[in-house]
């Protein structure tokens, strides 16, 4: 974590609970929504608590965004 991180989009990223994810999802190698590993999920949708970025399919990323909007209010 650097000071720069606080001023860009990463500060508002969704933080996923790693206990609910497979090892492949935790490391960004599988879609966090459907678990598909191929094609590799292209959309960064958040990160694991204490870990790296997690990704979703182009089709599944909007689901995450909607879920975030729903829970944020």
Q: Which residues bind Zn ion (CB under 5 A)?
A: 31, 33-34, 36, 57, 60
Residue 32 φ/ψ, nearest 5 degrees: -75, -15
Shorter beta-carbon distance to Zn ion: residue 18 or 62: 62
How many CA within 13 A on the CB side of residue 59?
5
Shorter beta-carbon distance to Zn ion: residue 54 or 60: 60
Least distance in angstroms from the C-beta of 25 to Zn ion: 10
Least distance in angstroms from the C-beta of 53 to Zn ion: 15
């Amino acid at each position: 974590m650097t000071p720069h991180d606080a001023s860009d989009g990463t500060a508002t990223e969704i933080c996923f609970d790693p206990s609910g994810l497979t090892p492949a999802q935790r490391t960004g190698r599988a879609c966090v929504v459907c678990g598909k590993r191929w094609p590799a999920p292209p959309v960064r949708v958040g990160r694991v608590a204490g870990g790296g970025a997690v990704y979703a399919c182009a089709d599944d990323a909007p689901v995450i965004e909607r879920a975030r909007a729903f829970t944020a209010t």
